[in-house]
Amino acid sequence: MSTGGETAGRKRVWSTPANVKLLPVSALEDPGARNLVLQIGDAFFHGFLVRKGDAVHGYVDRCPHAGLPLARELDRYLTPDKGLIVCAWHGALFQVEDGLCVGGPCSGGRLTPWPVTVRDGIVVTG
């Protein structure tokens, strides 16, 4: 049973410390998305990155509608045309740039941003 930020006995956290080096921006397909799980102490952060051109956006991997991770398959966060983020469970659609839900059961809601930046070709937490 999952309660209070725990999943299968593992604690979840919803943010990360600043200045954690994640990966080279070249490791992200353009456009493309990638799942990341970080261990922070005895807890885990689940997030994903989306690259579109020179911009990289980060989000907590949790749908605002049902609280589930967005992807059913690893790294499958984008629509087939790679224009929007999609929740594989209920079909909600989110803008890449700001996480705004533009269709589906949470229309008008937003994904939780995960602050990231690109420094010297490396994606780093903000």
pTM given for the model:
0.91
Predicted confidence band at 7 (pLDDT cuts at 50, 70, 90)?
Answer: low
Residue tagged 């079909």 (tokens) = 91
Provide the pLDDT for residue 2. Answer: 36
Topology of the domain covering 6-125: Rieske Iron-sulfur Protein (2.102.10)
**Sequence ranges of the domains in the chain:** 6-125
pLDDT at 43 over 90: yes
| Token output for 81 | 């045309």
Cβ proximity of 26 and 54 under 8 Å? no
Helix, strand, or coil (residue 99): coil
* Concatenated DSSP letters of 57-73: EEEES--TTTS--S-SS
- Is the pLDDT reported for residue 110 higher than 60? yes
pLDDT per residue as tens digits for the range 58-75? 999 999 988 999 999 999
Which residue reads 């398959």 in tokens? 73
Which tokens hold the place of 32?
């493309």
